[in-house]
Amino acid sequence: MPKRPPKRSRLSTSPSASPKGPNVWRRGASRLIEQGRLMWLLGEGLSAALAAQDQGHAPTDEESLAADLFGWTQKVLSGGPGSWGIGQVKQQPSAPRTERVCPATPRDLALMQASLRGLKCPVVWLGSSEIGGQWVSMAMGAGIDGLRRVLALSPGSLRAQEVADGLLADLVARGLEGAGLLVITEGSRTLDRALERVWDGRARVAHCRSRLRREIIGHFPEGSREGYRRELDEAWSLPVVEAAAVLEDLEVRWSVESPGAAERLARSREASLMIARLEVSSPLKERLETAGTLRMAFKKALRWAPPGPALSAFAVGVPLWLQRIRRLAGWRGLELLAHSLRSRPMEPKNSAAP
């Protein structure tokens, strides 16, 4: 008697699916698990995923799959049970990735006004960006779980004293404490003063090396900038005690060659070494030595932001972008960093800094 063909599993691909479909499904699921997003396992979200595969839906890559699954589950959560059943998957045309945008959830938006007391968030980036002639300032935190969170948004630039004071006052009023906190900025003198007033030196402040390098080199003639840039990078590559000594020597030498470059280095010399003094390991170290994480948030959030005023657009766009990215590289080192921030004594401040 001939053997019966094995019964086809619901998880098998349909004839119309791409041969690479199963691998993409597995990689997409793994990506969601890495990101800590298991919401798609809530019943109907999973059913929609299985039904889509049975009906021939073949995602192009794991990022596309992650966006689909998360969007389906958001539909279920917002519409209640039965709002996104198996029978509805077929009627949903696959839209370009730029159009697969679900509204920011109330939970995302509420975080910008919620209490921050007890939030295990040892790192905060503060910065501003100009979009279409409108300035927006942002506080973005990284929790010990590796996930980034928008803590506050404010109109205006942090180089304006009232904006810096107002944003920090909001964070403090909601319970964010300076003790045990690392704040990464682009080196604004105005923001440094505001941080000192608000937390009285309890927060550690690091300045973005990329921004500092650019501003220092800008004081020198264009033809000679490469040599000065190399001197800075070589100094930063040394062990922290040696690096501090070399930077101090550069500051003395540059006070004759270019007083503006010397003053800029003096103001941020210690702040540029803060991550090294905290002995943060790679790859987390590289993420904290610059404000690149915040700049990327401003840039990428525009893809998901609706038309309208800059502040409102970012309030929607940034949380949506954060839903689609991986945890911060090296995030497992954040818990050790949080311990170091609480236990290490503060380093002396620059004597030359205002």
Contacts of residue 309, Cβ cutoff 8 Å, sequence gap at least 6:
134
Residues 214 and 312 in one domain: yes
Query: Which residue, of 61, 92, 123, is where some domain finishes?
Result: 92
Q: Residue for token digits 């969170």? A: 149
- Burial (CB < 10 A; 0-12, 13-18, 19+), residue 186, is buried
Residue 27 lies in a domain: yes
Dist. CA 328–CA 321, nearest whole Å = 14
- The predicted pLDDT at position 157 comes to 95
Q: Which of 278, 291, 284 is nearest to 204 (CA)?
A: 278
Q: Which domain holds residue 51?
A: 21-92
Residues 184 and 221 in one domain: yes
- The predicted pLDDT at position 347 comes to 58
Cβ atoms of 155 and 311 closer than 8 Å: yes
Token pair recorded at residue 86: 């198996």
Residues 63 and 208 in one domain: no
Residues 53 and 138 in one domain: no
Residue 8 lies in a domain: no
Dist. CA 244–CA 307, nearest whole Å = 47
Whether the model pTM is above 0.85? no
Written in H, E and C, the secondary structure of 55-71 is: CCCCCCCHHHHHHHHHH
- The predicted pLDDT at position 89 comes to 37
Residues 143 and 215 in one domain: yes
Give how many domains the chain has, as a whole number. 2
Separation in Å, CA 18 to CA 13, 14, 68, 109:
8, 9, 17, 38
Residues 295 and 244 in one domain: yes
- Burial (CB < 10 A; 0-12, 13-18, 19+), residue 196, is middle
Residue 98 lies in a domain: no
Query: Which residue, of 67, 92, 117, is where some domain finishes?
Result: 92
Query: Which residue, of 30, 59, 92, is where some domain finishes?
Result: 92
Residues 80 and 163 in one domain: no
- The predicted pLDDT at position 208 comes to 97
Instruction: Look at residue 252 and give its three-state secondary structure.
Output: helix
H helix and E strand count, the chain = 16, 5
Q: Give, for all 354 residues of the chain, the pLDDT tens digit.
A: 555 555 444 333 344 444 444 566 566 655 555 544 444 445 555 556 655 665 556 665 555 666 666 665 555 444 444 443 333 333 344 333 333 334 444 444 445 678 888 888 999 999 999 988 899 999 999 999 999 999 999 999 999 999 999 999 999 999 999 999 999 999 999 999 999 999 998 999 999 999 999 999 999 999 999 999 999 999 999 999 999 999 999 999 999 999 999 999 999 999 999 999 999 999 999 999 999 999 999 988 888 888 888 888 888 888 888 888 889 999 999 999 999 998 876 655 554 443
- The predicted pLDDT at position 315 comes to 86
Residues 165 and 34 in one domain: no
Residue 16 lies in a domain: no
